[in-house]
Every structure is written in C-alpha cells, then in structure tokens.
Structure 1
Amino acid sequence: MTVSIRVERATSPAQLADHHRLRYQVYCLDRGFEPAELGPDGEERDSFDAHSVHFVAYDAVGEVCGALRLVYPVAGFPAAHVTRINEQALAPLSGRVVELSRLCLRHPDGHATGELFQGSDVMLAMLHAAWRYCRSEGVSHWLCLITPALQRMLSRLQVPFETVGASCKYRGLRRPLMTEINLMMRAAMRSCQRVEQIMQQDPDAVVEGLFAH
C-alpha cells in the first residue's frame, strides 16, 4: 500500500497532543510499559519532555502514524536512569549528544508498536527529520537504549554504534548505544536503497513510499 508521510516538529498544542496521545496508546494501552492512570487525559508524558524536541508523523489522511523525541541531558539522559552510562565516552561530546527515545509507530492496519521495524517509511521519515534537525542545531550523536533484535537489524545495515553502558533489564533486555549521526545515515544509505531514496528527496517534500511489514 502506497502512503504519504508528513513529519513535523511538534511545537503547537495540537501537534504536541497528537504526539503524546500516540505515546499513550503505545506505551500505556498497547504495551503496558507505563501505568495508564498516569495519563488521565489520554496523553503519556514524563519529566524529560520539558527538555525534549518532539516530532510527529501524519499519513495521507492526516492520521497520526508516528512519534519520537530527542532528549537533551538537562536533567540527565533517560537511559542513565535505568542503567550505568559511561560518562567518559560522552564527556568529549558535551552539548552534541541527545537521546533518541519514545519512538513509536502506527501500522497501516491501525496497530501501534513501540519497536522499530525494518522497511517502515514512517520510521525512516522520522529519523530523517530528526537527523536534519540535529544537523541544523550542531548535534552530532544520538544515544539510544535498544533491544538486541534492533541492534542486529542495525548491524545488518552496517550502522556504526558504540556501546556506552551496561546492558539492563528494562522492558526486556536493553543496551545503551551511541552513534555519530552522519556516519549512521551514510552507512544506512549504502545498505538500504529506501533510505537513500528518502535522503535524496527535497528536505521539505512529503515522503512517498511503501510500508513493508
């Protein structure tokens, strides 16, 4: 099924509400990662949102199909609250690292997920938007807390990641990894034609493509 995807930086009250409502659907209702009662208004939030840049993706009919945030470590990284992070590895990059978190997607059939899945144009479009934002703001690295399955997928794409902390049990086994975003995108473009197609589009163009799942 061919779809159109529009990714926006969520700055208006309506955009932010769309972002937080999808998070609530995924993290509270579908996955049970967070208690539903913490979002009585149907929106999932935490203390890190005050220091985050939020993105929201819409499909061709304006339905929300994805969300993610980039967290600045004003109050520390979210990952550091659940595992030990190698601060020495991050110290030389002070001010140039953000944590990519709360990435969630809604499939065309309406199913929502808190995991990345290979071939999703929603995922690729959101990562592209986040990459463009970071380049414009002088951010060079992403910190991510990811599952072994996702790490294997990224390894197949030859995405270079550095382990920067101890593995932990947090919603399953997770590992804190860091990547230099330009190297990541170049590696992904070499390994995945769809990434290259999205990256080469006009930065302000709507992403046209296929969901492969």
Structure 2
Amino acid sequence: MTKHSNKKSRFVILISGRGSNMQKIVETCKNENWSADISAVISNNPRASGLDWAKDNNINSISLDSSSYSDRDKFDSDLSSEIDKYSPDYILLAGFMRILGHSFVKKYYGKLINIHPSLLPAFPGLNTHSNAIASGVRIHGCTVHFVSPELDSGPIIAQGYTNVFTHDTVKTLAERVLMVEHKVLPSVAHWLTLGEVTLNNDNKAIILNDHNGLFYL
C-alpha cells in the first residue's frame, strides 16, 4: 500500500568513487522536497571524492577501507555496524564496487537496492559496456533491483535504456548510460519514500500506482 505516514524514509547510500548517482539522489530529494532523510554516505574507498561531496552537503560520511581487510566477513560486519547506527529504511548501492556476502545480503533483504549498468539479466558482473559493444546489441542501459545473494539477479524494480550506435566506444556508451542511471535511480528512490515499491510473495518487485518502470534516453 502507498505510505501515508509523515515519517521520513531514511536512506544510507554506499559508494566507491565520485558518487554521481548519490549526488543526483541528494539533489533531487532537496529540489523535489521528498519526505526523506539521506542519513549517511559510506564508502569502501577512503579516497572516494563522493565522501567530500557528502560532507560538504552536511551528510554524515564514513569510510571503511576494504583493502585493509583480509577477512571479507569482518568487513561486512563492520559495514553493517556502521549502517545500523542510522536505522535506515533502505540502503542504496550507488556505484558500490564490492560484492557483499550472503549473510549481509540476507540481513537486509528487501531494504538493499542496487543499480547495475546493464539491462539485466544481460551482462551481469563487470565490463558491461565493452561486453554490450562486443555482442552487437542495439539497446543497452541500466537496472535497479533488490539485491539477492546471487550476483546481479535480484528482483528488478526499473530499467532504463539507450541506443547503441556503431560509432560508440566504451567511454561514449558509459557516459550515455550514466545519464540514464541519473534518471532511473532517483525515481526509484522517490517511489520508495512513497511506499510504492514492494516485494510480493514470489519475490517479484511490484510498483504501485502505475509508475512506469522503464526509462529511455
């Protein structure tokens, strides 16, 4: 059901680099006056420029250097401890370049949202743009989905797409897909604040109020 409470939705956003998707969410949230609180931005890369941007915008910014952890479960545990300080309704993976363990994902299942730079189930994992060009597809894009223990296979909430042209390089295609991401992820985040995204008993994502889960650039 659509949420009618005055309670603000609390988000924690995970990044690994400049966090352009994170920035777009924060800016759109402010400009459109969402009932939401971006409680913290956390990065596994202490040199991520997105942390500085978050700090400059008065958002709690935390770094956990994943390269200093020899134990993957320990990193996940410490990350979970940081997240839990903010009691978020949702955790958004916005360019978070680290695979999270099964226990972590199961703990937050239904709250953990990722954006992946391909039209899943096509091209899971890395090198999506080069794989798209090499395969000869004419359409490419991004997918926002609930995170499941299986990599890049959770229930799909929304997708955005763009054409692939014969003259495209990995760089030009990546830039255009990023523009699509900047439309899709903030839209999904807004739907979440309205209580208009849910999982049914078959673990399929349901979007209420007839929102269109497909975007084109």
**Interval containing the TM-score (normalised by the shorter chain):** under 0.3
> TM (normalized to structure 2)?
0.25
> TM (normalized to structure 1)?
0.25
